[in-house]
Amino acid sequence: MRKRIMLLFLSIFVIIIICLPGITFAEKESVIQIDLIFDASGSMWGKIEGKEKIIIAKESIYGIIEELGQKKNIQVALRVYGHLNNKCTNSVLVTPMSNVDAEALKAKIKAIKPRGKTPISYSLIQAVDDFKKELSGEKVIILITDGIESCQADPCQTALELKNAGIITKIHIIGFGMNQTELSALQCIAEPTGGIVIGASSAKDLTGALDKIVEETLPVNLEIKALDAQNNNIFANYEIYQTGDSSMKIVAAGDTSMGQKASLFLSAGNYDIKVINNSTTAAIWFRKIAIKENQKTVKTALFAERTIKIKIKNATGQYVYGDVYIYDKSGNEIKHADTSMGNQATFTVLPNIYDIKAFDYETRKESWQKDVDVRDVKEYKNDILIE
């Protein structure tokens, strides 16, 4: 009886505490933690396409670091092995888990000089302490290596034990300059956590592999690309605004990460996206883009000129002489031409959305065509009727 009374009293006490105003219970902050494990073994001095693998790896990872630096709720650590000596315990946490300071992290990577062995298993064991236990959220290891385990250890068994202990969420691996047999030997490290192994045999492959793994790791629902007239990736900046916000407050901004693409996550809603060519400062707008949290939207800004051809027609169906004006969506006149004695007015413009005004010289009347979208067409041709 006494035991039942004590349990009843304890239950009432807990209910009172929970219901008291002003008392809250802190939840762990949810943060995606990424531990980059970087191979600096002696074999990284080997060359691919005439260039040292270590140089290619460094240059490729710089762009990813800049991209991660633009994300919220992301922390990154850098662990390096093989750079100090030839011991199998040469694995060092160079940068502790923290918010991304892109320049500081790139400086650490730039200073790395390959030297020793490939202690993958030991590095995985040490990586356990690289993560902050007080933070909830994904705990991801991204291993970049050009070789398999070279010490007397079993990284496959280590990865399995880490998974079974619930310590690591995912282990992803990029095998750089490795043959298929070597890549296959890495599969058992990634498989227990459902991670992926990607082979890379060139600088382009390595950049693509890093992009894919980051996409696998981070929630992404908007991807922005910028291309030139030959469909080559170009470096561009972007600004994102909430549609209908008269204050024009920027909700996200960044760039296409060394001329590749920008990947980001936005809350569901409608947005206006401005993409600016870094070389020419030309801008392309995407208006009222609906973003969903669980669906990726891809917007490609093609910085190649489009053609607009306009004729003016009167109420009797005859083509007439007049002026044609092209305006951007801010109301600025950007082009003006006449219809050359009843023929057409021809313009070259950047892909965007425009308003077009036609003016009949004879009747002094005008007519508008609104929201002409030439982002996805090479040529727009139309007759504007003035009654």
Q: Is the pLDDT of residue 290 over 50?
A: yes
Query: Residue 310: its pLDDT value, please?
Result: 94
Return the percentage of the chain with pLDDT > 70, whole number: 91
Fold of the domain spanning 32-217 = Rossmann fold (3.40.50)
Give me the mean pLDDT over the 216-243 stretch: 87
Query: Residue 66: its pLDDT value, please?
Result: 82
Identify the weakest region by mean pLDDT among 28-32, 85-89, 135-139, 241-245: 28-32
Query: Residue 29: its pLDDT value, please?
Result: 57
Residue 381: helix, strand or coil by DSSP?
strand
Query: Residue 216: its pLDDT value, please?
Result: 78
Identify the weakest region by mean pLDDT among 3-17, 219-233, 336-350: 3-17
Give 125-148 pLDDT, tens digit per residue.
999 999 998 888 889 999 999 999
Q: What's the CA gap between 146 and 133, in Å, rounded?
A: 30
- Asked if domains 32-217 and 306-386 share a fold, the reply is no
Class of domain 222-302: mainly beta
Q: What's the CA gap between 97 and 129, in Å, rounded?
A: 10
Q: Is the pLDDT of residue 22 over 90?
A: no
Query: Residue 36: its pLDDT value, please?
Result: 95
Which residue in this structure is represented by tokens 């390595």? Answer: 206
pTM for the predicted model, two decimal places = 0.59
For the domain covering 306-386, report its CATH number. Answer: 2.60.40.1120
The amino acid sitting at 274 is K
Identify the weakest region by mean pLDDT among 65-74, 76-85, 323-332: 65-74
Residue 55: helix, strand or coil by DSSP?
helix
Listed in sequence order, the residues at least 6 apart from 37 whose beta carbon sits closer than 8 Å to its beta carbon are: 79, 80, 81, 123, 124, 127, 141, 142, 143, 144, 145
Query: Residue 208: its pLDDT value, please?
Result: 83
What does the domain layout of the chain look like in residue ranges? 32-217, 222-302, 306-386
Q: Is the pLDDT of residue 27 over 80?
A: no
Average pLDDT, the chain: 86
